[in-house]
Structure 1
């Protein structure tokens, strides 16, 4: 982590710690707004993966995950009206989806077996990959119900902020590890378009 990134993170943490309790915020259609006066979806500094604290609609309960695919952001609700915002990669054209899921399982350095639908599109893919640094699921994965979708890390951090996946929510390995340590199996996940 560069000195500039550390300085931005320290300033952001200080701003949250000293923000007045009655901070005036404006919400977008998803109910997201920054405590720092930045537009929703704007990340402090230049990194799309620099996480920070933002205001969120109080209707989302602590422990809930909210994904805005249009903004390419994931929000983990820490307390009523407050969330941690992360940059994410989302499904490409034809692979977008929305709905409510539940975190059904969590795995560290998960193995990957491409689903049959993906193998039809990409017969060149391996039939199975053990977990590890080269695995496309990255350092951690949170499985979403009985669906084929996951919130997972990525060995391609340049895809964060892009719409390139087959529907999964991608995060940097650092961010997905942070989220993994916070989220519980059974957590509700709202995926909004």
Structure 2
């Protein structure tokens, strides 16, 4: 477990280093009539040295096996291996909306996709959705007592990959909404991309969400 956490952290650091490496070389805003230039040879050498150093660190820290990166702002899911993109999929992530909990229990549900470092904890085939309390409250329905009244098959698609606390990468009944922040926190994909993720990922595969 400790080794897995170390790998996951290394992958996330590698992702940040890549961003830093790119930003280091961006020395002035892009303009349509000119390309960025550096007139000082010493400054150019320093930037090139820094870039090479960051690139070496990136190579050392990036997981050697496939890992998942989710960009919640652009609603894209990537599967990467080293610097190679194995899959670039349009996704849907959390809407960020808030729903008040009913009754005397204070609190709210916040429908955000969590950010940070995670890993695939489970892989399911033909998953069945067990509707949580918020699914009924959101529709103005009474929350059922019987567990059987919560079961709803066919909603999550052919596969689901859990990454903790009830969050999953799964399919969607509404492919037209892919690319938008509309979910209750899970990550939705179309059928083909979901199948690819299921085949490429395994239990323990790192997931970085930002």
Give the match for residue 45 of structure 1: none
Q: Helix, strand or coil: the match of 1:66?
A: strand
Deviation at 1:28, TM superposition (A): 5.9
1:140 and 2:125 correspond: no
Unmatched runs of 5 consecutive residues or more in structure 1: 1-26, 32-56
Q: How many residues align?
A: 135
Q: Which has the larger radius of gyration?
A: 2
1:174 and 2:192 correspond: yes
Q: Is the 8 A contact 2:92 2:179 kept in 1?
A: yes
TM-score (norm 1): 0.62
Q: Helix, strand or coil: the match of 2:161?
A: strand
Alpha-carbon displacement from aligned partner over 1:58-78 (angstroms, at most 9, x marks no partner): 55423211100001100111x
In structure 1, what is the Cα distance between the partners aligned to 2:160 and 2:205?
Answer: 14
Give the match for residue 64 of structure 1: 67
Label 1:148 to 1:139 Cα distance change in 2 as closer, same or farther (>3 A): same
TM-score (norm 2): 0.58
Q: Is the 8 A contact 1:139 1:154 kept in 2?
A: no
Give the match for residue 119 of structure 2: 102
Q: Is the 8 A contact 1:63 1:184 kept in 2?
A: no
The correspondence for 2:151, drawn from 112, 128, 131, is 128
